[in-house]
């Protein structure tokens, strides 16, 4: 089994475990999942939903590490339509007029219809080529208020204290009017093969 298929299987199993333990009292709840696994030379990122990873390289460029799963994307829209579902606009594009992302863990009423799925996208990056300085892993509450480039610039100015940078950008997202929950993690790379999580 490859690392990529192993990660996908773990996320699918996690969705099944959530269903087993929460079906009777949190049947309608759902969440995103964003995982970053670091090895000596590679960074593997798996995501389900609309949490997002963004890396800052040595030149200050914002490199997307994941793709949001949104119902308006052509690939997702076609898959939803093939499953017999629909998307509609209610402040944002939503699956069955309800959910603003097209993949998730949980959200079982939509899973039963097969219009929302738990299948992750998994991407692997060569750290020697990227030469990363830091990465941001965050829920959509941040990305509703900041572009990738804005977030990278904001954190770069506060990189001596990544923990402070993460707290500061959460507050800025809130001040910009984000009504959603906001979770941010900043991981500072010491060099191409080691990281320091703060």
Residue 177's contacts (CB-CB under 8 Å, 6 or more residues apart) are 145
- In the chain, where the domains are located: 3-197
What was the pLDDT predicted at 78? Answer: 97
Rounded mean pLDDT of 161-184?
A: 91
> pLDDT by residue (tens digit) across 47-98?
999 999 999 999 999 999 999 999 999 999 999 999 999 999 988 999 999 9
- Of 191 and 100, the structure prediction assigns the larger pLDDT to 100
CA distance 141 to 50: 10
CB 196 within 8 A of CB 188: yes
CA distance 111 to 102: 10
Pairing of strands 132-138, 184-189: antiparallel
Residue 81's contacts (CB-CB under 8 Å, 6 or more residues apart) are none
pLDDT bracket for residue 129 (50, 70, 90): very high
pLDDT bracket for residue 184 (50, 70, 90): very high
Q: Does the pTM exceed 0.85?
A: no
CB 110 within 8 A of CB 81: no
- Of 30 and 195, the structure prediction assigns the larger pLDDT to 30
> pLDDT by residue (tens digit) across 7-57?
555 555 766 766 666 665 565 778 999 999 999 899 999 999 999 999 999
Stated as kind and residue range, the H or E segment containing 145 is: none
CATH number of 3-197: 3.60.40.10
pLDDT bracket for residue 111 (50, 70, 90): confident
End-to-end CA distance of the chain: 32
């Amino acid at each position: 089994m490859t690392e990529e298929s192993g990660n996908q299987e773990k996320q699918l199993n996690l969705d099944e475990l959530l269903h087993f333990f929460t079906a009777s009292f949190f049947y309608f709840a759902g969440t995103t999942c964003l995982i970053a696994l670091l090895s000596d030379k590679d960074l593997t990122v798996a995501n389900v939903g609309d949490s997002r990873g963004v890396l800052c390289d040595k030149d200050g460029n914002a490199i997307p590490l994941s793709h949001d799963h949104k119902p308006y994307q052509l690939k997702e829209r076609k898959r939803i339509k093939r499953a017999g579902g629909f998307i509609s606009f209610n402040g944002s594009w939503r699956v069955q007029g309800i959910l603003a992302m097209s993949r998730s863990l949980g959200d079982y009423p939509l899973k039963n219809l097969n219009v929302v799925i738990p299948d992750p996208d998994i991407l692997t990056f060569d750290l020697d080529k990227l030469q990363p300085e830091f990465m941001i892993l965050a829920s959509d509450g941040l990305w509703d208020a900041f572009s990738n480039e804005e977030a990278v610039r904001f954190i770069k100015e506060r990189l001596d204290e990544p923990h402070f940078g993460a707290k500061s950008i959460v507050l800025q997202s809130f001040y910009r009017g984000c009504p959603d929950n906001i979770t941010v993690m900043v991981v500072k790379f010491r060099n191409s093969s080691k990281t320091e999580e703060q």
